[in-house]
């Protein structure tokens, strides 16, 4: 698997789309192009984020912020996380 989509598709080359765990991968069907690794072409945002090695999807990050407005413990932890982030960011 690769994170990058080819810059341009090859005209006339047949594609295969596969759905695995909510992620849609695309690859070339026929030689010699079938040696090119498949790439992510769509799917559920949370599944795509996970397939790309991301900790959270944007939707999950938004959900954490929404829940922090209702949950004081989560709000406190999120504030500590953001403080740590700003400290580390400013050290670069």
Q: What is the pTM of this model?
A: 0.70
- CA distances to 20, 38, 62, 64, 89 from 50, rounded to whole Å, are 12, 16, 16, 17, 24
Strand 15-20 versus strand 23-28 pairing type: antiparallel
Q: Give pLDDT tens digits along the chain (92 positions).
A: 444 567 789 999 999 999 999 999 999 999 999 999 999 999 999 999 999 999 999 999 999 999 999 999 999 999 999 999 999 998 87
């Amino acid at each position: 698997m690769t994170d990058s989509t080819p810059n341009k598709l090859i005209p006339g080359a047949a594609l295969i789309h596969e759905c695995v765990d909510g992620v849609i991968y695309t690859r070339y069907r026929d030689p010699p192009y079938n040696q090119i690794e498949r790439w992510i072409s769509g799917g559920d945002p949370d599944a795509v984020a996970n397939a790309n090695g991301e900790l959270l999807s944007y939707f999950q990050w938004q959900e954490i912020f929404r829940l922090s407005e209702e949950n004081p413990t989560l709000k406190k932890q999120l504030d500590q996380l953001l403080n740590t982030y700003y400290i580390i960011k400013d050290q670069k």
